[in-house]
Amino acid sequence: MRPRITHICLHVDNLEDCVRFYRRYCQMEVIEDLSRGGEGSVYMSEPGRQTDLVFQFMGGGRSHVPAENDERHFGFVVESREAVDVVAKMAREDGVLFFEADEYLPGAYLCTVKDPNGNCVEFSFGHKVPPA
């Protein structure tokens, strides 16, 4: 048996807010909507990656309140430093910027944004994952 990751499921407080966030910030698309009235699940993926990795958002959960030193996050790569700055500006205006855009690792320019459920989402340019 060789397991292969297919999806990540997040139990969220407000399904509609999370869908709206991941559309706006990550340009993810809804590929299946099994929700009704904020309950049930919505499946989202990046365009063209529906068979690679899917986020499943399940309504009826609670917001995540991480500990101060909790650095867990979802990482998205963007095409340039300028694209990181665009995300940071948008997040600053929306009041969801967690870490300002900066070079936190040598050669890795990134910012971190909080989704509506309290999860951190990193947007980076030059961050080698997996490490070279």
Tens digits of residue pLDDT in 46-69: 999 988 899 999 999 888 888 878
Predicted pLDDT at 86: 98
Report the chain's mean pLDDT, rounded to a whole number.
93
54 and 80, same domain (yes or no): no
pLDDT of residue 69: 81
| Domain span including residue 118 | 74-125
Domain count, the chain: 2
**Distance of alpha carbon 18 from alpha carbon 32, whole angstroms:** 15
Bridge partners, 29 (sequence order): 45
Same domain, 52 and 21: yes
Query: Which of 28-32, 66-70, 73-77, 79-83 has the least mean pLDDT?
Result: 66-70
User: Looking at 34, 58, 82, which one is the last position of a domain?
Assistant: 58
DSSP 17-85: HHHHHHHHHH--EEEEEEEETTEEEEEEE-TT-TTT-EEEEESS-------TT----EEEE-S-HHHHH
Whether residue 22 lies inside any domain: the answer is yes
Task: For residue 25, give both structure tokens.
Answer: 């910030």
pTM: 0.90
Q: What is the pLDDT of residue 32?
A: 96
pLDDT at 131 over 70: no
pLDDT at 87 over 60: yes
- pLDDT value at residue 94: 97
Locate 85 and state its tokens.
Answer: 């700055």
The residues that bridge with 79 in the sheet, in sequence order, are: none
**Per-residue b or e along 90-104, where b marks 16 or more CB atoms closer than 10 Å to that residue's CB:** ebeeeebbebebeee
Q: How many CB atoms lie within 10 A of CB 58?
A: 17
The amino acid at residue 10 is L
Each residue's pLDDT tens digit, 8-52: 999 999 999 999 999 999 999 999 999 998 899 999 999 999 888
Identify whether residues 82 and 49 lie together within a single domain: no
